[in-house]
Each structure stands twice: as C-alpha cells, then as structure tokens.
Chain A
Amino acid sequence: MTWETVIGLETHVELSTAQKLFCRCPAAFGAPPNTQCCGVCTGLPGALPVLNAQAVEYAVKAALALGCTVARRFTFDRKHYFYPDLPKGYQITQLRTPIGRDGAVTLPGGRAVHIAELHLEEDAGKLKRGDDGAVRCDYNRCGVPLIEIVTAPDFSSAEEVVAYLEALRATLQYLGVSDCKMQEGSLRCDVNLSLRPAGSRALGTRTELKNLASLKAIAQAIKHESARQAAVLEHGGAVTRETRRWSEDEGRSCAARSKEDALDYRYLPEPDLPPAALSEAYIAALAARQPELPGQRRARYQTAYGLGEYDAEMLTSQKALADFFEETVALGAPPKQCANWVLGEVLRALSARGLEAAALPLSPRTLARLIGLVETGGLNRNTAAVVFDAVFDSSADVDEYVRAHALEQIGDTDLIGRAAEEALAANPKSVADYRAGKEKALGFLVGQVMRSLGGKADPHAVNRAVRERLER
C-alpha cells in the first residue's frame, strides 16, 4: 500500500508592534522576567483590555499580503482553560470573526496553499524551570500580539512545508510586521499530519505535532511521523487522534494530550471589547502602501541588476540580506560582485556565528569599501577575504586595517619584476621545464613570487611578469 501524506499547518507569528495587544506594555523580546507587565496583561482584578490599533494594522497588512479577504467588522472571543502561564484563565482570541479568510501562498513551482484563516490573539506567559527545581512564570510575553495562520491540509511533504514557511517568513519580514525568528519564538509552527492511501480523497486520522523549534526539526518530525503512522497502518492498526510532542534530542515524538479528551474551551464573546469596524478607505490605504514583496523584489533583481534566478532567490530569502545587498550596491559596489560576496563570504560568516541576516554586524559601507579596493587593485581577492574576516564583527575601518597590517596589494611592476627575476634565478629547473612545455611550472613559479611578496601582490601582474621573463 502506498501512503500519501497530508499536512495542514497552524503557525503563530508574534507581531513586532511596540506595545502588547491589549495594554500599553512594551512587547519587545529579551527583557528581564516580569519587567514588561501591568494589571491588564497579568489579569489583575478590575483591569480591562483595550485593543492596540497598530496590532490591527499589522494583522490586516499580513492578511492582505497573503491574499485574504479582510473582515470589515470583527469581534473577539474568550477561550478558557487553566494553566499557570494564562493569568486570566482565558485567552482573548478570535473564533467567530477572524481578521482574514481564504488567502493563499504560492510555493516555488506554482502550487498554491490555501490559507483558511488568519486571526489575532494574545500570547501567554512562559514557564521556566530553575536550577532549584522550582517552576517560575515570566509574564513578559503575556499579551504580546499574535496572528495565527491556519492552512488547509494542502501539503504533501516536508519540503513543501519548509518552502511554505520560508515564503511566509520572507513575506512577513518584508512587511515589517514580524521578525519571524524561530529561535526567539516569534514564529512557531504546529503540524497536523495524517496519511491516506495514494489517490484517495478522504482524510485519515491526524495527529498534531508540537514543540518544533526550527525548520530542520519540522522536516525531521514530519518524516518521522509519516513513517510512524505508516507502520501503524501497515500493521492493521488505527492512528490515535492525539497531540505529540517532538523531542529534538531524541529525534522522535511522544503522545501528549489525547484530542479525544479535548478541552471544552467554553468560548464566550468578549464583553469588554466592542466590535471593531474597518472602513473601505482604511483597507485600501494599507493595500496601497504595501511594500515590495519578496517575489516582486526577486524579479526586480533579475531585471535591474541582471542577477540570475538562483542568486535573486537566495538574496531575497531574508529581507535583511536583500536590504544589505541593495545598500552596498547603492554605495557603489558592482551588483554581480556584491552578490558574490553577500552569498559567499557574508552568508558563510553568518552561518559560522549562528546569526540571522537581521543580526549582521558588518555594515554596507565596510563591504562596499572592500569590494571597491579589490576592483581598483588596492587589494587582491585573497587578501580581501582575510580583511573581511577581520572587520566582519566590528565593521572596522577597512583602510585602517589594511594600512596597519601592510596588506596593500603590491602592484608596483618594478618590485614584481625584480621578484620575478629572483624567482626565476632561484629555480632554473622550473624554468627549463616550462620552456620544455610544462605549463604547470608557471604556476609553481607564480606561487614562489607571491610567497616572496607576502601574498599581497596582484596575481595578474605576477603572472604577467613571470610569463614575460620566461618567454624571453
């Protein structure tokens, strides 16, 4: 029996608004515990929620960019359950009137994934286990605005899921509504997965996978769960409808809560928040101000800068990377060379330090200068790479560094000429080999000259100088 995997996703994205969804506390990540809360977000008796207009704006922008129909009138609902990180004993969310419905994301290759809904809701706090074994709650995150994006069960593989999440992340970053950093929890994804016989239209019993902290974990978990369910079904068993918690360390998932004992959330229309109305003018204005989205930018890089599809795609995959690229080009760096540096040295350096593009310490000015020096012959390419590594973290002054370490490219033809003659004089056998037809000897001699000049010479000039003297 061939099985087909069917996947639907629920993604929670933290909006990068200045303040929380229902109070004026800062929503920024990383503050010391319980320093960004108030009566409203900690559910003190008597405190009341007041809707943050910026959060609505960000949610509508996201809905529009994802092709959703935006609700002209919306309300909120209380979803009740008990957990220490939920101070009111309920979460304010949207059950009946999500801000956006029926959108789509197109995957590379053309497949469209249907977005059933996009709704606003508040985040809960975070429980942390201390070294003393006690569990403490940090309410900083409580009340931070989230949009929950729910897809139809349109995915059939881990690859498609990853492609969707990368496209979603890029779009939301481009809009400036979220930084979508999975490692900081501003983008979280739960996977609903079931199997069915290949070709069948009916949906099988699904499980929900949680605690997926990276794209890699998501891909692994999907593959693992598909295999697990297939094994169950092959043995004639039935898949249990349940929530499974993924363990990164163990590389497998375990059953957590059974969905059959699903909690009754006793949804109540939120009486403290009157219905909100969005005018046509408001929605039209946001749609008109929509910035260039990743797909549009990708196309522009190909036409305006003459970059290839792959390079354009790689550059635009993270907005911060594309921004950096464009700023560097604006300072005079030739687009193709700049693209090479960005996709080469810059991405490598980021990866080595475990950073995302948004955290790039190198400034466009520094890279532009470096590229400029190589173009004008002030530095050779290899030396430039050395300088790059040195200035990357601090964006130190390139010229300073080159001067201080005497790395200027040696282009002085007299100096090179003398070095070439010395090398030829010191290696008569190689000279003879070359004159006898062995091309490789040239390389050896060029290398010797480069070494004697500390690696700083312009390789083209050295090559010319050696070849000239050999041909005499």
Chain B
Amino acid sequence: MELRRLSALELGQLLTKRALSPADVQKAAAADTLNAFITGVPFPESTAEGSSPLAGVPMAYKDNLCTKDLPTTCGSKLLRDYVPSYDATVVERLTAVGAVSLGKLNMDEFAMGGTSETSHFGPTRNPWDPSRSPGGSSGGSAAAVAARQVWYALGTDTGGSVRQPAAYCGVTGLKPSYGRVSRYGLIAHASSLDQIGPIAPTAADCAAVLDLMGGKDPRDATSLDLPPVGPPDGDLRGRKIGLPAECFGPEVERDVAAAVLEAAQVLRARGATVETCSIPELRYAMAAYYVFSGAEASSNLARFHGPRYGDRAELGREVKARILLGAFVLSAEGYEDYYLAAQRARALIRRAFAAIFERYDLLLTPTAPATAPLLGLSPEERRSTDLYTIPANLAGLPALSMPCGFDARGLPIGVQLMGPALGDALVLGAAHGYQLETDWHQRIPTEGDRP
C-alpha cells in the first residue's frame, strides 16, 4: 500500500494499531529535493508513545516557530544562528501528544513574501513543477506536505501565507479564527493578523491538528477560550454559500475560475445553495493590510537591533521595504492619512463581513487569481496573489484552501472557504463534505496523478 496516498489521520491510525512501524513510515517519507527544509532533524529511533490520533506521524514546523535548542531562522540571514531557549506553545502541545518533528521548514524572510524567494536559504521548489514556486510565505510547509516528506506541517498566515501555498501545492491549509491558536513562540510579523495554521492532505487532518495545538494559553493574552472543533461533519444540506463578485474579477485565470465554479457545483449537489453576492468594502482590503502589516512588522522587528542580533544590513530587501513603509505610516506625517484611515477601513470590512454572514453561512472564492508562478520573476512581474486571502486576516475570520482541480499546465488550483468569526468547525465541515465527493486532495505529484 502506498503510504504517501494516506492522509495524516489514516497514517496515524495504522501506527496506533501497529499495522505499521515507524521504520515503514521512515522509508515512505520522501527525501527533501525541493529545499523545503532549513534544518532537518533525523527521524527518531523510536517514536515517543503518544495519545493522539496523529502520534508518530512525521510533521515539521515553519521556521518562525520557536523550537528549543533547534535553530529558528525565520528564513533570515540575521537569525541564521539564532537558537531559542524555549518551545512555542504549539510545539510544546504537539510534542506532548507524540508529534514527530523532522525539522524546520523554509519560508519567505520574516514571513514577508508570496513565493518563498525572499528566504536567505534559497527558494523552495514546487513539487508539481520544480521550476515553479510553491508559494509563500509558508512555501516549505506546503511543499513538504505535498511531496510527502511529512504528512502535515504548521505554517503561519498573515495575509494568506498558509492558504496560498496550500493552493499552489495542491494540499489543504487552514487559517484559524484569530485567537484560536496561541501565538506564544511565533516570531511575529504582524501581531493582529498572524495565526498559526495546519497544512495537511485533508480538512479532517487540519481539524485534528487544530484541536491538538489550539486553545487558550495564559502566555498569549489574545488567545481565546474556545471548545475544540471536533472531527468535521460533511453535512452541507441547507448551507447558504455566497460567491463574492469582487473575488471573480478579470484578474482570475480562466482555468481557476472554472475549477472554483465546478467546486461550487459539487457543494450544490451536496445540498448547499450557492449564489453570487457582493462585498464592495473589500476594495479597501489590500491597502489596509499593507498599512497594518507594515506598521506592526516595523514594530515587531525593532527588537532586532545591533547590540544583540548583529547588523540590520543583513535583512533582505523586502523586509527593509516593509519596515520603512511601516515606520512611515506610524510617523507623525503619515499617521492620520494612513494608519487611522486603515483602522477605519478595517472596521468597515469587519462590519461588512458581519453583515454578509447574517445572510450566508460561508463564502467561496478562488484562493488566488492564478496558479504557481515561475521562480525568478522580478517583483514587478510577480502579481498580487493575496487579494482574496487578505480580508480574512483583517477580520480575524477562519478560512481554508483546498485543492479543486488542475490547470492546463498541470498545476494545482485551490478554492477558499471563509466562515464567520469563530466558525472554524463550519468551514472545516464544508471542506470535509467537498472532500467526501472529490479526490483532488488525494493526488500526489507522481507521474500517474498529473492530469
């Protein structure tokens, strides 16, 4: 049986039943030919006994999550030698239930970027086409899962950095509601936007990981006391799903639009009603996002000053640009016109979502306008890929990307589901329902699977 075809939960089950040994799993795990890992950890001799359904399943962490005694670089030259003295809460919690980590995954520097090319350690390659980017900033996480170097990974999502790479790599990625997962130990990009999210073959896998790592943490004042989401039910009967017109504009590639609309059909077939809607306030999302993420990043990175971390000149161009932007919008000159304006825009967007979710249970959009871009494009050539993912971060809403087809080049296409605040179970449930009807999530980048 080809273990790479199994989901994380299926693999976990076989391990628990002892139908599989850790050695079997080690043999099945792919080697890293994609530069997905920054720091690899050898497969442990014996896996620790764990109590969770994912005990013993190989996984890995994006390299902005602090791991005790293991380098945590954020993909940056500045932190190439930084070794934290503590584990992030999510690392502690997963380790406690038997997670087997194979190391730290590549990312855009300080999570700023959408292609994993700003990493000091070189870009990660897309397993479906090595001349292409796996997306970013959690590019290493998505690529490693798609290639089955690991069966699930943690990424972080500030403006789409879990969902977009998941889409480009043909796997499922969740950005939980803001506050559902503790950020303690996540080296912050933008504190009010960041969330740690699972990337795995299926929505059910994501739900399992979420419940193992999520929940109130006294060390993170923004974390919320919420009940677990539980295994997702796939029941879509009676669900009202909206397609915001603003996310289906001319910038969406034809194949992508077609695949997303086909996904909508599948949901209809399972009992949901799907119709178009409109959220005009979304037009402010990009600008508001860049103001907040720049402002908060310029603040969060202020601690990396000379005496303790070395030369600021060791930061990459993208990071410097964002810091400068952030410093400007917080400056006396820029504050009113930019930061205050962005605050008003964000409030508008939150209210708009609250209103739309009174009429709809879920929203469906393409995760990104196109599929994985070629590596090596110039900044001008790289188009904005976070148009449809940013709004969920601004409003703190749960959002998930799952594979729904391939384009003419054989590249995976991702469809996004967004839910109301704290509606993670709803989002995961709908995704699971879709995955019960389709098999896109079971495709892996071998010859036989490419269309």
Contacts and interface: CB of A to CB of B under 8 A. Distances in A.
A271 B79 CA distance: 24
Given A84-B307, A272-B191, A46 B218 contact: no
B82 interface: yes
B18 to A, nearest CB: 37
Interface in A15-64: 39, 43-51
Contacts of A283: none
Given A43-B303, A272-B191, 16 more contacts: A44-B84, A45-B74, A45-B79, A45-B82, A45-B187, A46-B188, A48-B220, A48-B221, A50-B219, A87-B303, A87-B308, A90-B299, A264-B331, A268-B296, A272-B220, A273-B221
A466 to B, nearest CB: 79
Contacts of A51: 221
Interface of A: 39, 43-51, 78, 80, 82, 84, 87-90, 137, 264, 266-268, 271-274
Contacts of B298: 266
B49 to A, nearest CB: 28
A95 to B, nearest CB: 12
Nearest to B193: A271
B220 A264 contact: no
B183 interface: yes
B296 A89 contact: no
Contacts, number: 85
Contact of B302 (A44, A89, A271): A89
Contacts of A264: 331-332
Across the A-B interface, the 5 shortest Cβ-Cβ residue pairs: A89-B302, A266-B330, A271-B191, A271-B192, A45-B187
B303 to A, nearest CB: 5
A46 B88 contact: yes
A266 B327 contact: yes
B66 interface: yes
30 contacts: A44-B85, A45-B66, A45-B72, A45-B84, A45-B188, A45-B303, A46-B65, A46-B66, A46-B88, A46-B184, A46-B185, A46-B188, A47-B185, A48-B184, A48-B219, A50-B221, A51-B221, A80-B299, A80-B302, A84-B307, A87-B308, A88-B302, A89-B299, A89-B302, A266-B298, A266-B299, A268-B296, A268-B299, A273-B221, A274-B222
Contact of A272 (B74, B221, B295, B303): B221
B305 interface: yes
Given A50-B219, A264-B332, A273-B221, A82 B191 contact: no
A89 B305 contact: yes
Task: Please indicate which of the listed interface residues A49, A90, A264, A272 has the most CB atoms of chain B within 10 Å of its own CB.
Answer: A272
A48 B183 CA distance: 8
A271 B299 CA distance: 11
Contact of A89 (B66, B295, B303): B303
A80 B301 CA distance: 11
Nearest to B187: A45
B296 to A, nearest CB: 6
Contacts of A137: 307
A87 B309 CA distance: 11
Interface string B18-42: 0000000000000000000000000
Contacts of A84: 307
A78 B221 contact: no
Nearest to B334: A266
Interface in B163-199: 183-188, 190-192
A47 B221 CA distance: 11
A92 to B, nearest CB: 11
A127 to B, nearest CB: 11
A157 B296 CA distance: 44
Contacts of B65: 46
Contacts of A45: 66, 72, 74, 79, 82, 84, 187-188, 303-304
Contacts of A274: 221-222
Interface in B50-84: 65-66, 72, 74, 79, 82, 84
